[in-house]
Amino acid sequence: MENRDILVSGGGIAGAALAYWLRRYGFRPTVVERAPAPRTGGHGIDIRGTARQVIERMGLVPRIQDARIRNRGMAWINAKGKAVATMNLDVFGPSGGPVAEWALLRTDLARILYDAIRDDVEYVFDDAITGVRQDADGVTATFEKAEPRRFDLLVGADGVHSAVRGLAFGPDDRYVRDLNSFIALYSIDSDADLGGRQLMYTLPGRAGRPGRTAALRPLAQPGRAMAGFFFRDPGLDFDRRDTAAQKRVVARHFADADWEVPGLLAKMWDATDFYFDRVEQVHLDTWSTGRTVLVGDAAYCASPMSGIGTSLALVGAYVLAGELSRADGDHRTALAAYEAAMRQFVDRAQEFARSSGDGGLLPDSSWQMWLRNQSVRALPYLPRRIAGRGLEPVAHTVTLADYATPAHH
């Protein structure tokens, strides 16, 4: 088999899943991760459609089940905390709606994947790629700390603001599309009785002020919950490294909110796992150039609010490793087959994220919020395929090939 030594930038979902499958097929992956250790905190994610089959084929279902957030559904509430519209999980089937049955923290999934490969895969923590030089025979990578090293292939699995994509494809502004909203998340101690439901409190837009939503969702461990804030701020520019400034932005946008919001904001200042980002999509005409290829958010982020990004990452990693195995490491054949297999899934997921939009979370008016509440109340009476908001068919776009026996065996 050719091209056995593969450098993977990013130890998150896509990177760890890819390393797992590469190792299984006889490749030698090395994962470089900027964080000094597997990350903690992070937001909730969903595993849907064929991504669940990927987890099954990895033999990780019991571990996923143990880490699951026991989520019964979602309730839209008013300023006094009274439910005005509820959405139960059983309306949608296992993976269809905005509330997935396989929901867990992103870092819990990353840890499960890391634990499955840590003894078999070289991990380089607390370092990052600073330069890439490709030639006909391989890739030379330079690092912030380690000495330069030579690999057969390079994979960028390093997120929306991928350093590998910047080095091999060009700057973010060519590929990242702004969807005009922001998301903030962090975990807190909470004795609130959520009843296993995610609570959503919306302030509708008025007089030039966009709509906003504050949320609280249960976590797997008792007495802990995840606070979330969703808002628009056209023209907001922020420093990715200045967490305190990001927290001030959130506090400013929700200073007038009722319900539990003042308490949630008070706890925000001490949150060590605070996550803040612009809601964006990543679009590239091709996900590979020479011996460098992208997977997960680096290649095709649908949006952190789409509910399908983790599934894209898991399926993409499975397909990329499988096609490399099937082609005996011939990267030209494999990378073309990877794109062919994944492109429709990516297009459908991104279109879904744009069309379902954020009108439910960020309604422009009281009237729009009322319409949202009415449509949520109607869900139990609709056929499942309609109630599922189209996510079910999107999540099943790819039929997984069986790559179990590499061609050279």
Q: Which pLDDT score, from 0 to 100, does residue 68 have?
A: 83
Position 339 in a domain = yes
Number of domains in the chain: 1
Q: Which pLDDT score, from 0 to 100, does residue 331 have?
A: 97
Q: Which pLDDT score, from 0 to 100, does residue 353 have?
A: 84
What is the CB neighbour count within 10 angstroms for residue 158?
28
**Cα 311 from Cα 305, distance rounded (Å):** 13
Q: Which domain holds residue 338?
A: 5-71+101-175+281-359+391-395
Q: Tokens standing for 155?
A: 């994979």
**SS3 for 104?**
strand
Position 188 in a domain = no
Q: Which pLDDT score, from 0 to 100, does residue 221 have?
A: 79
Q: Which pLDDT score, from 0 to 100, does residue 41 have?
A: 60
Residue type, 69: I
Q: State the angle between helix axes of 243-253 and 261-268 in degrees (0 to 180), rounded to the nearest 10.
A: 170
Position 224 in a domain = no
Position 166 in a domain = yes
Q: What pTM did the predictor assign? A: 0.88
Inter-CA distances, 40 with 35, 118, 188, 308, 311, Å: 10, 17, 13, 21, 20
φ, ψ of residue 278 to 5 degrees: the values are -75, 145
Position 212 in a domain = no
Tens digit of each residue's pLDDT, the chain (409 residues): 689 999 999 999 999 999 999 999 999 999 999 999 887 666 778 898 999 999 999 999 999 988 887 777 889 999 999 999 987 765 555 444 555 568 888 888 999 999 999 999 999 999 999 999 999 999 999 999 999 999 999 999 999 999 999 999 999 999 999 888 999 999 999 887 787 888 999 999 988 888 999 999 888 778 889 999 999 998 888 998 899 999 999 999 999 999 999 999 999 999 988 989 889 999 999 999 999 999 999 999 998 777 889 999 999 999 999 999 999 999 999 999 999 999 999 999 999 888 765 668 888 899 999 998 998 888 777 665 555 556 778 888 999 999 965 544 4
| Residue 290: CATH number of its domain | 3.50.50.60
Q: Which pLDDT score, from 0 to 100, does residue 409 have?
A: 40
Position 107 in a domain = yes
**SS3 for 153?**
strand
**Cα 58 from Cα 185, distance rounded (Å):** 29
Give the pairing of strands 275-282 and 176-189.
antiparallel
Among candidate residues 110, 99, 146, 137, the one with its CA nearest the CA of residue 290: 137
Position 263 in a domain = no
Residues in the chain: 409
